[in-house]
Structure 1
Amino acid sequence: MEERRNITDPKALRALAHPLRWKLIEFVGREGTATATQCAQETGESVANCSYHLNLLAKYDYVEQAEGGQGREKPWRLVHQGQSISDVGMDKESELAAQAASGAFLDYALAQIKERSLTAHLEPDEWRLVLGISNNTDYMTPAEVQEIVDTVRTLLDKFGERRADPSLRPEGSRPVTMLLSSTVAPQQP
């Protein structure tokens, strides 16, 4: 599996502007490989719909066919460990496509966070103690924000090999989603 991918092509960005496609990317990444049938069971969508969206994701190099299977029972795997989306320095079409892809991702991620936080009380105490939402508002420069992002990414990359190789996952480990969001208040005139 290749490292993170910086997406700049407007068509590839628009392919991510659909909430089901983010669910499929997350599920295939979590499982290592998954068929359209498995994706349908996970998402509650039809096998045909999942197959369509997996093929569209493959067209733009997000997933690819893995070994084995036929038809809708062929397994898919991620091509890249993650995607980076930015609208900086892009033409207007790419900028709008990046915003649509980012919006679809945020809708998906925030719904997942909300759903999981509402069911966190069902988890054992050892998990409940380490889960949650934290919020800070501090005054920083762009360079300081970049330092934080780089530090967090370095920490998370330490566990990256476990995504692609289940044999590296320690006993008791589970998929944990970390969402780092940095926003800045609008500049006052």
Structure 2
Amino acid sequence: MTDAPITDPKTLRALSHPFRWKLINLLTEQGPSTATECSAKLGESVASCSYHLNMLAKYGFVAEVEGPGRQKPWRIAKRHQMISSEGLDEEGALAAEAAEMAYLEQEFERMRGALRQHEHLSDEWRDHYGVISSTTFLTREELREIQVGVRALFDRFDERVENPELRPEGARPVRFFMNTAVSPE
């Protein structure tokens, strides 16, 4: 799935808080959840969860699930965010950088937490946990080919996120984080 980059500085600033990325990840993995449920899972106050969910909703990243009852669950409205400072003015570029840094901060926190919990995984899952790093020499076209191929591979399983009934027995949330860094000339 290719999404247009977010270019509005206010929308980018909405993503510049690491806790908002935690909420996005929780709703992606757990499905619709109330602010109270988010609070219990993330160890943040209900008021804080509610505030940050409302901020994410204001910019279209989450939405309330319609239904009866006073406490409405929230769901992911936009699962893929593309952040780039390319072509933005100074305000937009700074907002994009802040959003990227907040994302990386919470992502690295997730990785450190997973590493600390590694020994608690069953043997069958422990064998597949790890960090992979590789350096190779590619042309720009080859790099793009790899990125498109990896995205296509993930897209094969994308429907399972929003449709739990499509998940096979024993399926668990698995987090992939890929960073592409090109050395300067």
SS of the aligned residue for 1:184 comes to coil
Superposition pairs of residues 38-187 of structure 1, within 5 angstroms = 38-68=37-67, 70-71=69-70, 73-187=71-185
Q: CA deviation at 1:140?
A: 1.6
Where structure 2 has 5 or more consecutive residues not aligned to the other structure, the ranges are none
SS of the aligned residue for 1:64 comes to strand
Task: Answer with 28-37 or 51-60: which moved more.
Answer: 28-37
CA distance in 1 between counterparts of 2:125 and 2:29 reads 19
Q: CA deviation at 1:48?
A: 0.6
Aligned residues: 185
Does the C-alpha gap of structure 1 residues 172 and 83 become closer, same or farther in structure 2, counting only changes over 3 Å? same
Q: CA deviation at 1:152?
A: 0.6
Using structure 2 for the length normalisation, give the TM-score. 0.94
Q: CA deviation at 1:84?
A: 1.0
Does the C-alpha gap of structure 1 residues 165 and 137 become closer, same or farther in structure 2, counting only changes over 3 Å? same
Task: Answer with 95-104 or 73-82: which moved more.
Answer: 73-82
Give, as a single letter, the amino acid of the residue that structure 1 aligns with 2:86: V
CA distance in 2 between counterparts of 1:83 and 1:51 reads 21
Using structure 1 for the length normalisation, give the TM-score. 0.92
Q: CA deviation at 1:81?
A: 2.4
Task: Answer with 36-45 or 115-124: which moved more.
Answer: 115-124
Q: CA deviation at 1:145?
A: 1.5
| Identity level (%) | 45
SS of the aligned residue for 2:171 comes to coil
Does the C-alpha gap of structure 1 residues 77 and 5 become closer, same or farther in structure 2, counting only changes over 3 Å? farther
Matching residue of 2:11: 12
Where structure 1 has 5 or more consecutive residues not aligned to the other structure, the ranges are none
Give, as a single letter, the amino acid of the residue that structure 2 aligns with 1:10: P
CA distance in 2 between counterparts of 1:5 and 1:50 reads 28
Once the two structures are superposed, residues 115-147 of structure 1 have per-residue CA deviations (whole angstroms, 9 ceiling, x without a partner) of 101211111111111110010011222222111
